[in-house]
């Protein structure tokens, strides 16, 4: 009986933490109108990149904790992670922003090749910028890690179980 009670309390705590993570600390309704439920702030309709910054920050903290990042390494790793989040956010915004152009090219009697080419050229530019930022962030983090930390990070990057963080 006590185990059932303890399990229920843990489950309720987990649900509460998940809701806070999705809503960025619970104050989500102030800027997007979402009130409760799973996946406010645009995630309700399955849009990528709309979880809020809380999830990305938490993943960064787990990354730093698992690599045992010390106080001297932390500012550099934090800066690299902030730049990385910013560039990936910009990439997702560009991809989402091109939905109207792609649907406009599709709605006509014949596919508008020029509109699609323009949208995909913007995608290519955004992907190239994101790629440069990913490489830059990796180099910054690599430079401050010691050999054991690099080995551990490389094992995570090469793992196939999806458990990077």
CA angle centred on 152, ends 149 and 155, rounded to 5°: 150
Token pair 């104050």 is found at 27
Which stretches of the chain are DSSP H helices?
A: 2-22, 29-32, 53-67, 74-97, 99-107, 113-144, 147-158
Reported residue count of the chain is: 165
Q: Model confidence over 96-138: pLDDT tens digits? A: 888 888 888 888 889 989 989 999 999 999 999 999 999 999 8
Mean per-residue pLDDT over the chain, rounded: 75
Q: Model confidence over 129-138: pLDDT tens digits? A: 999 999 999 8
């Amino acid at each position: 009986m006590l185990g059932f009670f303890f399990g229920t309390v843990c489950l309720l705590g987990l649900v509460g933490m998940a809701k806070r993570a999705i809503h960025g600390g619970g104050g989500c309704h102030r800027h997007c109108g979402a009130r409760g439920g799973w996946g406010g702030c645009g995630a309700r309709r399955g849009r990528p990149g709309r979880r809020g910054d809380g999830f990305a920050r938490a993943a960064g903290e787990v990354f730093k904790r698992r690599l045992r990042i010390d106080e001297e390494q932390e500012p550099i790793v934090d800066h690299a992670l902030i730049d990385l989040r910013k560039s990936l956010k910009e990439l997702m915004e560009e991809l989402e922003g091109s939905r109207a152009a792609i649907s406009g090219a599709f709605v006509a009697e014949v596919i508008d090749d020029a509109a699609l080419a323009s949208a995909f050229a913007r995608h290519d530019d955004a992907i190239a910028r994101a790629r440069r930022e990913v490489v830059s962030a990796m180099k910054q983090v690599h430079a401050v890690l010691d050999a054991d930390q690099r080995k551990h990070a490389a094992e995570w990057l090469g793992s196939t179980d999806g458990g990077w963080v």
